């Protein structure tokens, strides 16, 4: 009877040992599976972070590009405002309301530098409807600038300018106000 008892105890201990061993193996497998799941999750998070960073970088590049384009447009507008038409308008005003004759003559000389020649035609529109325009007697830019100096008022506004490839004005069209 003792040997049966011993063998049954031995069998119980063997069973406990087998369960412990298999339990440890399944714990190892469970740990490995959880580590693999954690690693996959971390890789997914890293991938999502990279994608967010790339999207943020693209967004910033797009914003910078838009800012550069807006700056270019602003420069172009400024150049247009300070282009020949605006500069000529400023000269007309300076010549028509000078402090003295010397400053008017100086402004005339500076203004003439914008033109291809002192004989550049100046056409003054006195009336018009649609494409039909009626002009006053044509004059030259030199004569018109001296007229402004003598009259001391600028009653015409610049309608259009024709410019040659070198940037010099070849024709001025004014409209009576």
Neighbours of 111 (CB within 10 A): 22
pLDDT of residue 133: 85
Q: Which residues of 12-38 are buried (b: 16+ CB within 10 A; e: fewer)?
A: eeeeeeeeeeeeeeeeeeeeeeeeeee
The DSSP secondary-structure symbol of 137 reads -
Sorted by where each begins, the domain ranges of the chain are: 84-176
State the Cα angle at 97 between 92 and 103, rounded to 5°.
85
Pairwise CA distance, residues 26 & 53, whole Å: 40
CA distance 149 to 155: 12
Distance, in Å, from the CA atom of 10 to the CA atom of 148, rounded to the nearest integer, reads 127
| Segment 89-105, tens digit of pLDDT | 889 899 988 778 888 89
- Distance from C-alpha of 126 to C-alpha of 162, rounded to nearest angstrom: 19
pLDDT tens track for 81-140: 557 888 888 898 999 887 788 888 998 999 999 999 999 999 998 887 777 888 889 899
Cβ atoms of 99 and 90 within 8 Å: the answer is: no
């Amino acid at each position: 009877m003792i040997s049966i008892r011993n063998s049954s105890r031995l069998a119980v201990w063997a069973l406990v040992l087998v369960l412990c061993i298999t339990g440890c193996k399944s714990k190892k497998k469970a740990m490995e599976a959880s580590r693999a799941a954690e690693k996959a999750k971390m890789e997914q998070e890293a991938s999502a972070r990279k994608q967010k960073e790339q999207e943020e970088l693209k967004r910033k590049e797009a914003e910078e590009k838009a800012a550069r384009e807006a700056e270019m447009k602003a420069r172009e507008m400024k150049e247009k405002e300070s282009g020949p038409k605006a500069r000529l308008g400023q000269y007309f005003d300076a010549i028509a309301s000078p402090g003295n004759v010397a400053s008017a003559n100086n402004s005339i000389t500076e203004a003439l530098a914008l033109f291809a020649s002192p004989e550049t035609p100046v056409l003054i529109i006195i009336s018009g409807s649609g494409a039909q325009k009626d002009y006053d007697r044509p004059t030259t830019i030199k004569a018109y600038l001296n007229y402004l100096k003598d009259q001391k008022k600028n009653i015409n506004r610049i309608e259009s300018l024709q410019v040659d490839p070198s940037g010099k004005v070849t024709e001025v069209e004014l409209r009576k106000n």
